[in-house]
Each structure stands twice: as structure tokens, then as C-alpha cells.
Amino acid sequence: MEAYKLWVRRNRDLVRSLESLANGLTWILPERFANSEIVPEAVYALLGVVSSVNQHIIDAPTENHSFASKEQSIPWGLVVSVLKDVEAVVEVAAQHFVGDDRKWSFLAVMEAVKAGVRLAAFRESGYKMLLQGGEVENEEEVTVLENNYGVNGNGVPAIYPMDGHAGNGHKAMTKGLDGKNGFVSKSLEKRAVAALNKFGENAKMMSDPMWMRRLQPTPEPTVMVAEKPTLASIWSAKGGTGRLFVLGEAVHIFRPLLYVLLIRKFGIKSWTPWLVSLAVELTSLGIHSHATDLSHRLGKVHQLSSAERDELKRRKMMWALYLMRDPFFASYTKRHLQKAEQVLNPVPLIGFLTGKLIELLEGVQTRYTYTSGS
């Protein structure tokens, strides 16, 4: 496995080219797969999983820089990507073996697992907004609390005066060992500070002939580092804005699961799942907007990063998928598409392309995983 990781990192351009070629070849799969869509869907999913794994290997820090990276036990973004690819296969297989009505039970299980993984990723990130449904890590800059110990520009721990006047060294307090703003490993910083203190102690002993009489154990200095916030700290420190933010993100995470459960109960042709899902989307965005406005009015520290603002824009754009979901699609969208096809059909080439596009949209609309936006 290590050899494969090394090969991927050294040939990242070749890997991406091979992935693009493989994805292009899936459009010309042999017709022998037409009797069952499980095989082509499994091929798509396998390619998606391989692509996600390769991207994770490329983005992961190398061993030489792993000490400067944020410790993370499980790559939650990779898990979310794999689950999304597997969910498409589960839907096709369930539809083939148990039918359209009973497939929603399997999809509900998949959405419940995805919601659990996203909650874990949300907690692991320090309750920061999930980007791309948790597939992309939210690398928002971490503000390190002011303390008496920091890191200088060369990556060596530096001791700041007790009066808080750190001079130019204070600007480097949040510099990681890799030269980027970020989090410094607590254990690494402690070891470095302890080594620095030991060096100073040895130097002092060498210059003091009476050191034998004053040899006493020196307590390890207390080092304050920026730690990952907990739910309790957000609840107490950020007040109402932090609570609203966490609530809005939790609502967004559980929206797909609620949507599938309602379809399982009322059916895909019912307006209840469609309306409730849209209402939940609007509620989540409204909570985020209210939390941000309240933060501005109260002068609190909770501010959205540029990546989080882009994520909110992306979520708004995903509302277009509601046009592709039943019963809205069957009642309105499909009718307008058919009218457009009738108008453009006499036009050479354009009419042909329009017909193929509408055929593709109608096929995509039959798959929950293609239009779920989760």
C-alpha cells in the first residue's frame, strides 16, 4: 500500500489523466450491460471510489511534514465520498431485486449512515461548516490564543515575556512548522519547550559554581495552545450565534434522511416529502443567515470564512434539483421540456441534441442518488 501511495504522489498528473480516460470510456460501455444497470453503476462507483482514494493520497501530508498537520484518526471526507458512490449501487440493486417501493428502506439506511458520518466529521472539525457535504475539509484559519510560548519564523518555540509584549515574534505565534498558519501539535510544542528550558538550565548551571547546592527539579511550563472547540465551549463562548450555527448545520445534515423517510411513508408522488424537504432547506439557510446577522450586530467573533460563504452559495444553487424531483418534475418540468422539444425538433442538429438532452434528464430523474443533492 505504501508503494502505491508513493507512486500516486509521484505521478499525480498521470493518475488524473487515467481517471479522466476511464470515466470517458464508461460512456461507451458495451450493450451487453443493458439488461441490468447494476454492472455499469458498479463500474461508475468503483471508478469514483478509486478517484476519491487517489485524491486523498495526493492531499494527505507526506511523512516529512506529517508533524505539522492536524491529527485526524479517520478521513471523514473520504468516507463520505465512498458512501455516496456506494449509495448509487445500492439504489440500483435494491430497485432490481425488491422493486421501486421497497428500495426506499435501503436508501434510508444509507442516508442514516451518511448523517452519522457527517455528524462525526462536524464534531471532528471543531463544529465548523461542512463543505461539499463533508467531502472537503474546512481549512479555516485557526486563531491561537495569546500565551507566553509561541513559534518563531524558523519553527522553533520561542518564549514571550510575561507582560505580553512579544515584539515581532508575536506575529509568528500562529505559524506552523511548515510555514503555514495553523495548529501546532501540543505534544511537539511541549517537547520543544522542555528541550529549550533544559538547554537554558544547563547553561545556567555551567556558569554558576554553586549549582550543586541549588539543584532542584524545574516544573514543566504551562503551554497554552489553540484546541479544538467543543460543543459546550461553543454553547458558552459564542452564545446564541454559536447555538444557531450548530442547529442550522444539524438541520442541513439530517435533511436527506428526513426526505427519504417521508418518501418511504407517503410515496414519491406525494407533495409532502417535496415540500417538507424544501422547507427544511430554507430553514437551515435562514438559521445560518440569522446567526451571521446576529453576530454582526452583537460584535461577536463568529464570522464566516470565504469557503463557508461559497458553501452557502452552493447550497442555494442545489435548490435547482427540486425541479428534477417528483412530483414537481412530473407535473411541471417534464411538460415544459416536451414543449421545448416540439419547438426545437424541426431545427437540424439542435433538435436532435435537444431530444437527447431531454432523454438524459428523464433518465437521471428516475434515480434518487442523482437528484438528492446529499
Assigned domain for 319 exists: no
Assigned domain for 367 exists: yes
In sign, the C-alpha dihedral spanning 207, 210, 211, 214 is negative
Residue 43, pLDDT score: 83
Residues 6 or more apart in contact with residue 254 via CB below 8 angstroms: 115
User: Which of 27-41, 72-86, 257-271, 352-366 has maximum average pLDDT?
Assistant: 257-271
Residue 178, pLDDT score: 41
**Alpha helix ranges (H) inside 60-175:** 76-97, 103-124
Q: pLDDT exceeding 90 applies to what percent of the chain?
A: 29
Q: Pick 247 or 67 by higher pLDDT.
A: 247
The pair phi, psi for residue 151, each rounded to 5°, is: -130, 130
Q: Pick 18 or 218 by higher pLDDT.
A: 18
Assigned domain for 105 exists: no
Q: Which of 95-104, 126-135, 145-154, 327-336 has the lowest mean pLDDT?
A: 145-154
Assigned domain for 332 exists: yes
Over residues 43-77, the pLDDT tens digits come to: 888 888 888 888 888 887 665 444 444 445 788 88
pLDDT category of residue 319 using cuts at 50, 70 and 90: very high
Domain count, the chain: 1
Residues 6 or more apart in contact with residue 325 via CB below 8 angstroms: 274, 365, 371
Look up residue 193 and give its three cell numbers.
519547550
The model carries a pTM of: 0.70
User: Which of 155-169, 315-329, 338-352 has maximum average pLDDT?
Assistant: 315-329
Residues in the chain, total: 374
Position 108 pLDDT exceeds 50: yes
Q: Is the backbone of residue 267 left (phi > 0), alpha (psi -120 to 50) or beta?
A: left
pLDDT category of residue 215 using cuts at 50, 70 and 90: very low
Assigned domain for 203 exists: no
pLDDT category of residue 217 using cuts at 50, 70 and 90: low
Assigned domain for 91 exists: no
Contact 26, 47 (CB under 8 A): yes
Q: Which of 18-27, 65-74, 272-281, 346-355 has the lowest mean pLDDT?
A: 65-74
Q: Which of 41-45, 74-78, 350-354 has the lowest mean pLDDT?
A: 41-45
pLDDT category of residue 11 using cuts at 50, 70 and 90: confident
Chain mean pLDDT for the chain: 74
Residue 272, pLDDT score: 96
Buried b (16+ CB within 10 A) or exposed e, 136-160: ebbebebebeeebbbbeeeeebbeb
Residue 356, pLDDT score: 87
Q: Pick 262 or 57 by higher pLDDT.
A: 262
Report, in this order, helix, strand and coil percent for the chain, each rounded to 5.
Answer: 65, 5, 30
C-alpha 93: how far from its chain's center? 27
Mean pLDDT of 204-221: 48
Residue 22, pLDDT score: 79
Domain that holds residue 346: 325-373
Assigned domain for 53 exists: no
Assigned domain for 145 exists: no
Position 106 pLDDT exceeds 90: yes
pLDDT category of residue 107 using cuts at 50, 70 and 90: very high
Residue 261, pLDDT score: 96
Position 225 pLDDT exceeds 90: no
